[in-house]
Amino acid sequence: MKLQIFQVDAFTSKLFGGNPAAVVPLADWLSDELMLDIAAENNLSETAFFVPENGRYSIRWFTPAIEVDLCGHAPLATSHVIFNELKLETEQINFHSDRSGSLGVVKDGERLVLDFPLYPMKEIKQVAGLAEAVGAKPKQSWEAQGNMVFMLLDSEVQIKALQPDMSLLAKIPYDEVIVTAKGETSDFVSRMFAPRIGIPEDPVTGAIHCSLIPYWARELGKTELFARQVSKRGGELFCQHAGDRVKIGGQAVTYFKGEIFVEENFQNAIRS
């Protein structure tokens, strides 16, 4: 079996920046096992699979270890492929995820704008062992989206200097650990670590901004914000707090496109 594959750098205007995602267009769904095998073989933070269904695109995404509920950079990369490589749509895309509902994407010049649900954060007490694992004591801590813990730190400089202990982080009872602070050349900055789900550090993470945007909009008293994820690759996110939704804009660049080949004995893994 032969499948198309694209690799796209998302939330960046230049190659080798932002967050790389693989995108695999499908006519029909593959088995969960086969999609996870492909994601593990790609060894990127996410591989997205999509299928046209009922006038929209059903979408799922996998880390090298698990399927995740919500992702930002993979839908951005998928939209880039649909708009620019496959020429299937012109200005708007409607995605559906069984895990996170309706997700819209609109083309705005060179920028793609994601329309995502807002997920508020709930303040919590300091998580045992978290400060030691991250290498910094938080000013405040929150949890959101079921499996994320957020830490407010003093500055962008402090966040950039962090060198977390991944073995300790993997023992923290949250899949994703996010640090954030007010930015120097942006409204706010962040980094995200997730060794429990096969991602030591995610270069740019759209999904965490579903919770960061409402927090920083309230703190800064504005609804439109510019954010940076200050990983080594770095990423830029143009954000808007829009009621019970958030808008997350960014650019994307195709790195490669090609084909992958799955052994014949996997054919029976395809859903009928």
In degrees and rounded to multiples of 5, residue 232 shows phi and psi of -60, -45
CA 238 from centre of chain: 14
pLDDT in tens, 234-265: 999 999 999 999 999 999 999 999 999 987 45
Local structure of 163: helix, strand or coil: coil
Instruction: Determine how many CB atoms are found less than 10 A away from the CB of residue 55.
Output: 6
- Global pTM reads 0.89
User: What is the distance between the alpha carbons of residues 42 and 29, in angstroms, rounded to a whole number?
Assistant: 18
pLDDT in tens, 51-107: 999 889 999 999 999 999 989 999 999 999 999 999 999 899 999 999 999 999 999
- Does the pLDDT at position 267 exceed 50? no
pLDDT bin (cut points 50, 70, 90) of residue 266 is: very low
Type of residue at 252: A
In degrees and rounded to multiples of 5, residue 206 shows phi and psi of -65, -40
Element (H, E) at 211: helix 209-220
- Residue at token pair 């405040």: 140
What confidence score (pLDDT) does residue 265 get?
52
Element (H, E) at 190: strand 188-194
Q: What is the DSSP letter of 67?
A: B
User: What is the distance between the alpha carbons of residues 87 and 193, in angstroms, rounded to a whole number?
Assistant: 35
Where in the sequence numbering do the catalytic residues fall? Answer: 46
pLDDT in tens, 154-200: 999 999 999 999 999 999 999 999 999 999 999 999 999 999 998 99
What confidence score (pLDDT) does residue 170 get?
96
